[in-house]
């Protein structure tokens, strides 16, 4: 692909030109993730696992942050209970689909 501004050629797909900063490719829209309690990554109710999946973070890191909030700010337990009530649980089909080792069939000719 070529930069329409300065004409620099790029061998691979890049989002912005390194020379002039022009946006070269519009980012592929990612399907909107829903905040749900995780079925496969949970210690109590899957709230921290759900937040970790939603934010793309390690669930252990989310638990550490949540525990720190609980100890130092005192709001973690109440927040957890509220999140437990408010957040829907991940559907069983999605939990099975995301399980490691499962093969998701790809539509043919979609490259």
Nearer CB in complex with Zn ion: 19/33: 19
Q: Which residues bind Zn ion (CB under 5 A)?
A: 3, 5-6, 17, 19-20, 22
4's tokens: 């329409």
Nearer CB in complex with Zn ion: 22/68: 22
Q: DSSP assignment of 8-60, as one string?
A: -B-SS--SB-TTT--B-SPPPPPPPPP--B-SSS-SSSSHHHHHHHHHT--HH
Shortest distance (Å) from residue 26 CB to Zn ion: 16
Shortest distance (Å) from residue 70 CB to Zn ion: 49
């Amino acid at each position: 692909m070529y930069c329409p501004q300065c004409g620099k050629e790029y061998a691979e797909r890049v989002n912005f030109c390194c020379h002039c900063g022009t946006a070269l490719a519009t980012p592929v829209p990612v399907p909107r993730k829903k905040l749900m309690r995780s079925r496969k990554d949970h210690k109590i109710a899957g709230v921290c696992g759900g937040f970790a999946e939603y934010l793309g973070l390690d669930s252990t890191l989310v638990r550490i942050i949540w525990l720190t909030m609980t100890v130092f700010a005192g709001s973690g337990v109440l927040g957890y209970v509220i999140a437990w009530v408010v957040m829907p649980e991940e559907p069983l089909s999605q939990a099975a689909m995301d399980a490691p080792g499962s093969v998701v069939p790809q539509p043919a000719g979609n490259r």
